[in-house]
Amino acid sequence: MHATSLFGPFRLEPASRTLYRDGEVVKLGSRAFDILVVLVERRGAVVTPRELMSVAWQGLVVGESNVRVQIANLRQALGRDGEGARYIASIPGRGYTFLASAVRVDDAALSTSTRPVWCGGTWSWRWSGTGT
């Protein structure tokens, strides 16, 4: 089972297949969601288009242009005024990498009211109950 990840103002919950921004649901298609999960879980590593295709289009033969479309959709969903590109970088001739730092957390440690706060020029998660 994939753990919940926190990055910037986002909370990615693979178990419920939901992405939240500032506590509000961000609409993503299933393939874009699958690609985002892989990129966040392997943050900092280059993930090839072939690897992304094997996850998002299991058993289907598709071209790399399909991956590019889903990456564009993700960048649009993650960003306002072009800031989505700061989360996902294209590595020419190799693939894609997730740039932002992400924290994996136990789902039990999160409450649905947990929200990010702007602190010291960056987004930070405020914990309820146990934690920091």
User: For residue 130, is it within any domain?
Assistant: no
User: For residue 36, is it within any domain?
Assistant: yes
User: For residue 131, is it within any domain?
Assistant: no
User: For residue 30, is it within any domain?
Assistant: yes
Q: How many domains, the chain? A: 1
Reduced to 3 states (helix: H, G, I; strand: E, B; else coil), residue 41 is helix
Sign of CA dihedral 22, 132, 45, 48: negative
Lookup: tokens for 132:
């920091």
Q: What is the pTM of this model?
A: 0.79
Cα dihedral 60→62→68→69 (10° resolution):
-80
Return d(Cα 96, Cα 89) in angstroms, integer.
6
User: For residue 28, is it within any domain?
Assistant: yes
User: For residue 132, is it within any domain?
Assistant: no
- Looking at per-residue pLDDT, the higher value among 52 and 2 belongs to 52
User: For residue 127, is it within any domain?
Assistant: no
Sign of CA dihedral 41, 87, 57, 23: positive
pLDDT at 132: 37
Contact 36, 74 (CB under 8 A): yes
Return d(Cα 55, Cα 34) in angstroms, integer.
7
Reduced to 3 states (helix: H, G, I; strand: E, B; else coil), residue 85 is helix
Domain that holds residue 20: 4-122
What CATH number does residue 100 fall under?
1.10.10.10
pLDDT tens per residue, range 61-110: 888 999 999 999 999 999 865 666 689 999 999 999 999 988 988 754 55
Q: What is the mean pLDDT of residues 7-20?
A: 94
